[in-house]
Chains A and B, each alone.
Chain A
Amino acid sequence: QQQVKQSPQSLIVQKGGISIINCAYENTAFDYFPWYQQFPGKGPALLIAIRPDVSEKKEGRFTISFNKSAKQFSLHIMDSQPGDSATYFCAASKWNGQNFVFGPGTRLSVLP
């Protein structure tokens, strides 16, 4: 019940295309859903996050879509750039920030 599933495992997109990564969770007590971007040799960097009282949140080229009834959320990267090539992790947490659960990650490659 603590697991967060993430797909695809890897993704190749042409420059300017849209990258879409999907996640699903089981625990209905989760109420915070962040996405992290990680470059090789670096710690994860917070990209964007959403809470279940909204269905969509947009920050620049990054959009989270949230479907509470399906217990799914996704990250859309518009106008993907080679600099976006990294591993992306979705995560879920309860209100008190304990027990952050991360997905297994998606390795994104954006071709020039």
Chain B
Amino acid sequence: ETGVTQSPTHLIKTRGQQVTLRCSSQSGHNTVSWYQQALGQGPQFIFQYYREEENGRGNFPPRFSGLQFPNYSSELNVNALELDDSALYLCASSFYRGYEQYFGPGTRLTVT
């Protein structure tokens, strides 16, 4: 069974740029959720995708957007990067829109 994978591991961007982060869900899982984790804080829910549609969204502006593909992998896109977007971005997958979410290792984004 393959776990959740994310790419890239680290990323450095300049304020105002755009970034795309990628996630491959665990085998058999069709739901992907994205989280932002600032240093020293708990993860904050960004949004969830189920069967290629957004299925819930946290308190994040529209410049945070996502996609889910037919193979259930997912992308997180962030436009017009701000310094406060610097964080660890976590992807979690689950079977159906269920409870047990399994997290990937995250992508560390630094905005300068």
Contacts and interface: CB of A to CB of B under 8 A. Distances in A.
Q: Do A and B come from one complex?
A: yes
Interface string A83-104: 0000001010100111111111
Contacts of A93: 99
A59 B84 CA distance: 38
Contacts of A62: none
A103 B98 CA distance: 20
Interface string A28-50: 00001010100001111110010
A111 B96 CA distance: 40
Nearest to B108: A41
A44 B90 contact: yes
Interface in A57-112: 89, 91, 93, 96-105
A101 B101 CA distance: 12
Interface in B1-39: 4, 31, 33, 35
B56 to A, nearest CB: 3
Interface of A: 6, 32, 34, 36, 41-46, 49, 89, 91, 93, 96-105
Tell me which of A41, A43, A44, A98 has the highest count of chain B C-beta atoms within 10 A of its own C-beta: A43
B41 A96 contact: no
B99 A97 contact: yes
Interface string B32-55: 010100001111110010000001
B103 to A, nearest CB: 4
